[in-house]
Structure 1
């Protein structure tokens, strides 16, 4: 009951300020002030203020907010730890299996080439580009470097 009275008083004061503003020939500002002043009155008429007042003074509602906050805290903490570890246990096992499977198929595909091929591949890349045949020399050098 008190919240509704306060909202009605705020609306009345806002409408009074809007009238004074309109009297000073600032009609756009007066209309904007009137719009803001009517919001609390509309909230009272819809019953939203009564619902908020009942929720604000209810210990059960506050306990519910505490439980929701605790759930949110647990969720964010577990997600942060999971990201730091590199995923869930199931995701890490799947990644390890995929990595082992990839190495079994082509064990040297991901290993860098450190032999004579890396020096030979660097020379064509440094050569000046002259024609269309040289356009693919960089690509060929990269492919040779990786043993393809």
Structure 2
């Protein structure tokens, strides 16, 4: 009841200001003021004011807003702790595996010859020569680039 009275008074005051503005021959501004002053009474007539007043004065609604605030606070706290803890989840899992003795990439030091040839002594000599030549070629390319630039 109080909200409806306040909205009606605001609308009446706005229409009065619009009338004074129109009397001063500022019709465009007066029309704009009249439009704004009709909004509060329109909200009263549509029932939105009752709905908002019902929400604003219910303790259960404020309890709900409080719980939303607590949930948001917990979420932000866990995010801050996660950021302070060092990296993303994947990085922490990899660090935990390394700390427990598991290798991050167990076959990282083995040459990539295929699954069948790892761990067996059946590596052909031609393969080992090609592998030993490959790193030398990489260094020769690097040396050529460095010589080209005068380093």
Identify the TM-score tier after normalising by the shorter chain.
0.5 to 0.7
- 1:31–1:86: structure 2 CA closer, same or farther, 3 Å change rule? farther
2:24 counterpart residue number = 24
TM superposition outliers: structure 1 runs of 4+ over 6 Å: none
When Rg is computed on C-alpha atoms for both structures, the one with the higher figure is 2
Q: TM-score, normalised by structure 2?
A: 0.61
1:53 counterpart residue number = 53
Tell me how many residue pairs correspond in the alignment.
Answer: 114
- Describe the superposition over 1:51-86 as per-residue Cα deviations: whole angstroms up to 9, x where unpaired: 111122111111111111111111111112212224
1:104 counterpart residue number = 108
- For structure 2, which runs of at least 5 residues remain unmatched after alignment? 98-102, 111-141
- Describe the superposition over 1:4-62 as per-residue Cα deviations: whole angstroms up to 9, x where unpaired: 11101110110110111011111221122112111111211121111111122111111
Q: TM-score, normalised by structure 1?
A: 0.62
- 1:8–1:105: structure 2 CA closer, same or farther, 3 Å change rule? farther
Q: Where is the helix percentage greater, Structure 1 or Structure 2?
A: 1
- For structure 1, which runs of at least 5 residues remain unmatched after alignment? 107-116, 128-140, 142-148
Looking at both structures, which has the greater relative contact order when contacts are Cα pairs under 8 Å and sequence separation is at least 6? 1
Question: Does residue 146 of structure 2 align to residue 121 of structure 1?
Answer: yes
1:146 counterpart residue number = none
